[in-house]
Structure 1
Amino acid sequence: MAVARNGQRSPGAPGVPAFVGRARELAVLLSAARSRPSVLLVEGPAGIGKSRLAAEASAVLAAEGVRVLTGDCHPLREPLAYGPVIEALRDIGAWLPPTGWNLGASAGWLAALLPDLADRLPAPPGPAAGPVPPRHQIAQAVRTVLAAVAPALLVIEDVHWADEATRELLLLLGRDLPRDVALLLTYRAEDVPGRGPLLGVAFRRPPNTSGAELSLGPLTEQDVADMARSVLGPAATPVLVRALYSRSEGLALVAEEDLITVRDHQGGEPSGVPRSLREVFAERVERLPPEAVALADVAAVLEVPVSEGLLGSTAALEPGPAARALTAALAAGVLRELGPDSYGFAHALARRAHYDNIPGPERTRLHRHALAALRRLPNPPLVQIAHHTRLLGDAQAWLTHALAAADQAVEVGDQGTAATLLHEILEEPRLPPELHARAALSLARIAWDATEYTRTIATLRRIVAGPGLPVATRGEIRLDLGLMLLNQAADPSGEGEIERAVAELEAQRPELAARAMSVLAMWETSRFSAAEQRAWIDRAQAALAGSDDRAARASVAANRITLLAAMGRPEAAGELAALPREDEDPEVVRHTARALANAAEVGICLGQDERAAHHTEESLALAERHHAHALIVHCRSYRLLLSWTAGEWADWEERYAAFRSGYLDEPLAVDDLLATVQGITAAARGRTARATERFGRVLARDPARKNVNALGAAAGLARLQLARDDAEAAWRTVADYLPLLPRKEQWVYAWDLVPAAVEIALHRGDRAAAEDLAARHRAGTEGTDAPGAQAEALVCRGLVLRAQDPAGAAAEFDRARLLWTVIGRPYHAALAGEQAARALVVLHDGEATALLTGITETHERLGATTDAARCLRLLRDLGQARPRPRGRAGYGDRLSPREQQVGRLLADGAGNKEIAAVLFLSPRTVEQHVAKVLRKLGCTRDEVRGRTF
């Protein structure tokens, strides 16, 4: 019988029942798989036909030239990092490009996991930090080789058995597949750990990725009839079909195995054939010689595919009789060849059916034999040994072996298998306190930075809430729990966990306590005031007095510098410059790189753009040298922010999309700033719906903890509300965030919150509030190293003076314009300059026209449509509209520049009134432009929504 690589019978092989009842599902699967990239999920209970459906789809796609790579998950897989995926990639050698072809350096990270292909892969980009490169490097490497062999279909079967690291790798792949690659996963929903989503709550199929999610149900009686006729022909009588359907209840595997038994009996009604799959297998086994039965029993007990030698030794058979027995079991269809010298049952349900037929005392005896045989192997498989000890009821031995297996998994870099084992251990109700503490600590240490974190957070919460843990151990676990809650789950309750961890660690683990304190000193939320944060950092430094843990000292120093920099303290620059860039301990240098990255982010917020760019590049160089992946990603995001502040707006959205698509799995701390920048750009271009959505997204993430990185979004939304003449809503928006500034001493953050609040207060007629805000802001920025905030203080002063002293206001606005120009921000300088020009207009100063003309040109270069239109309107009011060339340009069926502006606003869902307000046109003129746009595009107003111009 033809056998596919994964042990399932190949579709279309002689004697294989026809593929029935899944035509619709196959069509859906193939359609999605052809629209690559695509993520395909096939779910259903054991024996329902998931593997057959996957095999049929794979065969069709392979015939179309798609390279099919298959890996299987097993319940007792021995430690091998990302085992099922690595197993699938072992077949790519023949498809890899010739040696010397530029495959991409990242593929070199797979060399350690695919030694047989090491000569076909590039050298690793750098030394690995451990036995296995970090998951992000592996994910990028897998993407690289899949892209190289594309078009490709990666099939991973039985993902409910996948270890946590493999599921996480599949999550990372699914969120960022190469362009011509499909990912097909089969699984049993009832066996997914925690009964949650297969790839965890963190998985969302990207917008540019197609997909299908199929849940398979039982076959119908007609399906079973079609299957029977494909095997038995005319012998498939209605009575037989009804019997087959009744016994199988539509379960494809049972019907198929039943048919094979009937066929082997030369057809006819199976009146003597039992109703269950277990009895079907029992009849087959009854025809086997005793030695073959013994091998089948051993295979059922061992559970995973094993070699002929291990089968024979466990069954106490000599090599010759063992070989003959195996041949007989294969011929009868009881066992299958699942790979080179690898034998077992084709399906878990079939194995279980046979296992259940073995008498209890015999099963116990065989588990003991299996243990003995496995322990004699040169490299004893600890996961399997632990499994058999557990089934024998020896809880203590199982715990010992399971912990040893987890330690081995960590040692070889397979943190997923380690986490799976540790979760099982921690669910043991009779776990001794010392083993409970050890397992809990191990889980916390390996899982705190996982992308799919929900199960681990739930486990760690249960552990720290329970009794029996030593105080310091509880503190260390609680610290990792707190970091997971803050960094992965964005859950502010993590701060409370870390604060409690401090009390549990301080006496016995001062270095860890210091780390926890310095984390609390850095966090941006409103939980702690700036004074409390300084107290935390002082306590952290005191806890390390006399400690020779240089890495801990470096960590606290980096956090102290971050705190000082965020408050605009001038001494931060000197302390940052003094940090070591070279050290025998790479962890010390990684903390320097982190401090530089933090200083770069803070510098962008304070208007230290040139210095922030320098810190970004220095941090990036150190991070790449020391493989600090998260810092590398963050530094590249700072480059994007700095290009925006420098006025490189032309293709900024495209560059941001390309950057984000490469790091979909990264929880970026600056996501709020990037979304804010998108919102500011959209508002400047008149796309108010998009701007509102971007600002709202930031604020929705921040309803309770009031993060300082949301200040710009609050200011941007408030300005949109003010533009709609809703000053009260605008004031409520800024008022939510203003208390954060004195509490966190963040007057220095130049994200327009205070200038917006001053302008809104004046619009509401509350001059006292405006003056008070401007004065407090000026005092809060005095003596700080925050040029952006100082420019904003000048703007605030100008706004307060504007009504009563336009000359003084013009001077303040112009000073702000010059300062923003020195900082290197043309958009900010143009906005301040426009305010100066408007003050000069009141004074009838001829300088206003020249200033406005230059500012308008800046806005047009940036694509700031709304701002340019506003300035042009003022120039027209001054009688200084720029002359048009003689005659009108003929655009024919093409959109004119003005029509493109209108089209962009229509695409964003703007109404005529909103377009008129944005472009400073009359409603009648807008109606004419809208009609021309729709006529030239040949579409309705609804159809233009979402189009790109």
Structure 2
Amino acid sequence: MRIRGSSPRLVGRDAHLAALREAVAHLPAVVLVEGEAGVGKTRLVTELLDGDLGPTLPLVGACRQIGEPFSYGAVLEALRGAERGLAGMTELNPITGALAPLLPEIAEHLPAPPQAIGDPRAERHRLFRAVRELLRSIGPVLLVVEDLHWADDGTRHLLRFLAADPPDGLAVVTTYRREDLPGESALGAEFRPAPACAFAVVELRPLDVDGVRALTEAIVGRGGVSEGFAERLHERTAGIPFVVEETLHALRDPAGAVRAADDRARRLLESVEVPGLLRDGMADRLSALPAVAVRLVRAAAVLGVPAPAELLGGVGGVPATRLRAALAHALGGHVLYEVDGGYGFRHPLARQAVYDTIASAERVHLHDRAVTALEEVRPRPLVQLAEHSERAGRTRAWLAYGEAAADRAVEAGDAATATTLLQRLLAAPVLPADQVNRMAIALGRIAHTGLDQRDPTETLARVLADPRLSTAARGQVRHYRALLLIRQVGHIREARAEFERAITELAERPDLVAQATAVLSMPYYGTVPPDELARWRAWAASYRDTAVGELRISLLANELGGRMHLGEAVRLDDLPETAATTGNAGTWPGCGATWPTPASGSATWNRPPGSCATGSGSPRRTAPRSW
């Protein structure tokens, strides 16, 4: 068990707090603080109350989320704290005695209750006047009523009565969620502030990425929160401070996690279970929806991304005739929101909270319906189809869609998506041997280009032990793994051993053998005796003499760099003045990875000198140049 705490300081709300303080300093005043659940309304008001209020007496009450709230309950709760203002006061307006039966805590300071009138409306009016007269007598007063969206009609009417004609020494501050109000206005459409009354609406919005980073640093008590972690945390929590705090508390080691880079931060945050308070809150919202709306919400949770209403209805089995009403309930209950042209959840944790409520058998059924529905979408969302096929138990469809999605990601230059898909597919024991060969080679080729920050070295090692892998494919995978290892500190010896083993398996790929021998001949890759380097250089030279195009250029460049590194004489006459390269698509010298070449010769891809054989670094665009 860990002791939990919120941020020790207010973050990202300096302007809001200044506006609130300025408003309540000009009595009389009415301030409405609005914002969605968890955005920090209570924290802002608490900061106001903890500040220097001078002679102003703070009275605080809160509306409760209960079935039948007690009339005027929040205001009466606040008035219990009026004893300090009543101490020593001998004369009060007799009408304040109407409050004595309702406030036994301060009844001894109040006049005797007046006689009953017998008319409920008159009794209510007398009670309203009694509250206003009491506040006038003990002023200056700061009356705070929290969560007005849960208020009973009596409390709302009483506050509107006070705010419309407040005593000179009264400031009223209310907090509420606009989306949960029974009407469009916190105090009712009829409310109009008094002419001499200061009036302000303070709207709190979620924090931006910088605000999330600052809040994280305040909670964990140290700086150094990485940009990647802050961005992923903002993405997962929508910048809502309460959700940020709950997520950080759910991490096992928040102080260490906040320093994680982008990809590791994503994995850490995705592994966090939905905090209990968020899960319970979502369960309460779901329980208030009709069954047909719940089916729509669960379909949205299974799809996982914003989707059109028709797609949600198809997955959830909601008839077209009931779709509009079901969507209205889901939106009105603030479970679904309009997002990116479709309908989805406020943040991923809300989606996960709903997904966790679905029984496992029902999940499989919904994922199966999702596959059927998404197959009609054009262009087909291959990544989504692969995921839903896997979760629906459609193994053959999962393998087909997964490989197609990886191929599309490679074509689009999305190395991160391609790497993730290929690693998941290669872990499947049911993957046929021909697909294992293709995917393992594709993963190695993508990995060694350096375009994805994830390191699949261990995945490639597991693939090499897979008996389904052919000898030719194993040689290529081992070659690509060696190219990864050669760039890692402390792994040069292992990399050289992998290159040597790969050479024996690459009988069908002399170009890769040439690259491997070129790497092994480099004097700066490990501590290798000169005679051994010379042996590898001679072997590489035998391939260089027959190679053409870019492969020949890369072999010549590596040989020249190696000789210069050793202080040996070189013959520049052996180097060609020009060399032909492939047109529409080329193979990087020494890399074996195909890259699109710039259109119309407007630019060329350029790699750092000496890096061709190892494939280190990423390509960059430069102005045209000759070799």
TM range (shorter): 0.5 to 0.7
Report the Cα distance in structure 2 between the residues aligned to 1:370 and 1:13, rounded to whole angstroms: 38
Which residue number in structure 2 is paired with residue 728 of structure 1? none
The residue number in structure 2 matching 1:375 is 375
Instruction: Number of aligned residue pairs: give it.
Output: 387
The residue aligned with 1:322 is: 323
Deviation at 1:381, TM superposition (A): 0.8
User: Residue 453 of structure 1 contacts residue 484 of structure 1 at CA under 8 Å; is this kept in 2?
Assistant: no
1:433 is aligned to: 433
Shift of residue 306, structure 1, vs aligned partner: 1.2
Determine the C-alpha separation between the residues in 2 that align with 1:574 and 1:202.
50
Alignment of structure 1 residues 826-841 onto 2, 5 Å: none
Report Cα offsets for 1:360-412 as digits up to 9, x if no partner.
54433322221111010111111111111111222232122111111111111
Contact 2:299–2:312 under 8 Å retained in 1: yes
Please tell me whether the aligned partners of residues 371 and 388 of structure 2 are also in contact (alpha carbons under 8 angstroms): yes
1:667-711, Cα deviation, whole Å (9 max, x unpaired): 9xxxxxxxxxxxxxxxxxxxxxxxxxxxxxxxxxxxxxxxxxxxx
Give the structure 2 partner of residue 75 of structure 1. none
Q: Per-residue CA shift, 1:605-641, capped at 9, x if unaligned?
A: xxxxxxxxxxxxxxxxxx994232545999xxxxxxx
SS at match of 2:335: coil
Deviation at 1:159, TM superposition (A): 8.4
| Matching of residues 500-519 of structure 1 within 5 Å | 500-505=501-506, 507-519=507-519
What's 1:521 paired with?
Answer: 521
Could you tell me how far 1:520 is from its partner in structure 2? Answer: 0.8
Q: Is the 8 A contact 2:208 2:234 kept in 1?
A: no
What does residue range 720-739 of structure 1 map to in structure 2 within 5 Å? none
1:581-606 CA-partner distances (Å, limit 9, x unpaired): 664559999759xxxxxxxxxxxxxx
- Partner of 1:242 in structure 2? none
Q: Pick from 23, 32, 37: which aligns with 1:16?
A: 37
8 A Cα contact 2:209 2:231, kept in partner? no
Shift of 1:560: 2.2
Runs of at least 5 residues in structure 2 that lack an aligned partner in the other structure: 1-15, 18-32, 48-203, 214-226, 237-246, 591-600, 619-627
Q: Which residue of 2 aligns with 1:156?
A: 231
Q: Select the residue among 578, 581, 602 that pairs with 1:580.
A: 578
Question: Cα distance, 1:559 vs. partner?
Answer: 2.0
Q: Is the 8 A contact 1:282 1:357 kept in 2?
A: no
- Residue 479 of structure 1: CA displacement? 1.5
AA of the residue aligned to 2:553: A
Q: Report the equivalent of 2:556.
A: 557
Residue pairs, 1:791-830, within 5 angstroms: none
Q: Which amino acid aligns with 1:284?
A: A
Structure 1 residues 443 and 250: alpha-carbon distance in aligned structure 2, compared to 1, 3 A threshold: closer
Question: How far off its partner does 1:428 sit?
Answer: 2.4
- Residue of structure 2 in register with 1:627 after alignment: 605
Corresponding residue number in structure 2 for 1:296: 297
**C-alpha spacing 1:584/1:509, structure 2 compared with 1 (3 Å):** closer
- String of CA shifts for 1:878-929, please: whole Å, max 9, x gaps: xxxxxxxxxxxxxxxxxxxxxxxxxxxxxxxxxxxxxxxxxxxxxxxxxxxx
SS at match of 2:521: helix
Q: Matched residues in 2 for 1:589 and 1:431: separation?
A: 29
Of residues 195, 204, 208 in structure 2, which corresponds to 1:58?
A: 208
Question: Retained in 2: the 8 A contact 1:486–1:495?
Answer: yes
Q: Which residue of 1 aligns with 2:278?
A: 253
Amino acid aligned to 1:293: V
Distance 1:539-1:412 versus aligned 2 partners, 3 A rule: same
- Report the Cα offset of residue 349 of structure 1: 3.9
Contact kept? 1:336, 1:345, Cα under 8 Å: yes
Residue 416 of structure 1 corresponds to which residue in structure 2? Answer: 416
Question: Distance in 1 between the 2:482 and 2:492 partners?
Answer: 9
The Cα shift of 1:296 comes to: 1.6
The answer (yes or no) to whether the contact 1:292–1:328 under 8 Å persists in 2 is yes
Partner of 1:532: 532
Residues 550, 588 of structure 1: 8 Å contact kept: no
Kindly indicate whether residue 220 of structure 2 is the aligned counterpart of residue 199 of structure 1: no
Q: CA deviation at 1:327?
A: 1.3
Q: 1:514, 1:412 → 2: CA distance?
A: 29
1:298-342 Cα offsets, whole Å, 9 max, x none, are: 2122122212232233345565632332111110122222x2422
Q: 1:13 to 1:380 in 2, by over 3 A?
A: farther
Give the drift of 1:523: 3.7
Q: Which residue of 1 aligns with 2:154?
A: none
List aligned pairs for 1:124-139, cutoff 5 A: none
Which deviations, in whole Å up to 9, do the C-alpha atoms of 1:249-274 show, x marking residues without a partner?
A: 9845246x2xxxxxxxxxxxxxxxxx
- Kept in 1, the 8 Å contact 2:298–2:354? The answer is yes
Amino acid in the other structure paired with 1:517: T
Q: Is the alpha carbon distance of 1:21 and 1:479 closer, same or farther for their aligned partners in structure 2, counting shifts above 3 Å?
A: farther
Give the alignment's TM-score, normalised by structure 1: 0.36
List aligned pairs for 1:438-477, cutoff 5 A: 438-450=438-450, 455-477=455-477
Q: Distance in 2 between matches of 1:397 and 1:483?
A: 33
CA distance in 1, matches of 2:318, 2:274: 39
Would the alpha carbon gap of residues 564 and 155 (structure 1) be closer, same or farther in structure 2, given more than 3 Å must change?
Answer: closer
- Alpha-carbon distance in structure 2 between the residues aligned to 1:313 and 1:542: 64
Decide whether aligned partners of structure 1 residues 566 and 629 sit closer, same or farther in structure 2, where only a CA change above 3 A counts.
closer
CA–CA separation in structure 2 for the residues paired with 1:469 and 1:153 = 37
Question: Which amino acid in the other structure matches residue 487 of structure 1?
Answer: R
Cα pair 1:564 1:571 within 8 Å, conserved = yes
1:680 equivalent in structure 2: none
| Larger helix fraction of residues | 1
Q: Check the 8 A contact 1:426/1:436 in 2, yes or no.
A: yes
Write out per-residue CA displacement over residues 208-256 of structure 1, whole angstroms, 9 at most, x where no aligned residue: xxxxxx99xx9xxxxxxxxxxxxxxxxxxxxxxxxxxxxx99845246x
RMSD (CA atoms): 4.8
- Listed as ranges, the gaps of 5+ residues in structure 1 are 1-9, 27-53, 67-151, 162-185, 204-213, 219-247, 258-276, 593-622, 635-664, 668-949
Shift of the 387–432 alpha-carbon distance from structure 1 to 2, 3 Å rule, reads same
1:470-523 CA-partner distances (Å, limit 9, x unpaired): 122112111221121222446212122112211221x22111111111111124
**Paired residue secondary structure (1:380):** coil
Equivalences for 1:168-187 in 2 at 5 Å? none
Retained in 2: the 8 A contact 1:202–1:452? no
Provide TM-score, normalisation by structure 2.
0.52
Closer, same or farther: CA 57–358 of 1 in aligned 2, 3 Å: closer
Equivalent position SS for 2:260: coil
Task: Answer whether contact 2:285 2:333 (CA < 8 A) is retained.
Answer: no
DSSP-derived class of the 2:329 partner: helix
User: Percent of counterpart pairs with the same letter?
Assistant: 29
**Aligned partner letter, 2:401:** H
Please report how far the alpha carbon of residue 430 of structure 1 lies from its aligned counterpart in structure 2 after TM superposition.
3.6
Alignment-mate amino acid for residue 437 of structure 1: N
Residues 201, 632 of structure 1: CA spacing in aligned structure 2 closer, same or farther, 3 A cutoff? farther
Structure 2: distance between partners of 1:200 and 1:483:
24
Matches within 5 A, 1:722-761: none
User: Highest relative contact order (Cα 8 Å, sep 6+), 1 or 2?
Assistant: 2
Match 1:284 to one of 270, 285, 288? 288
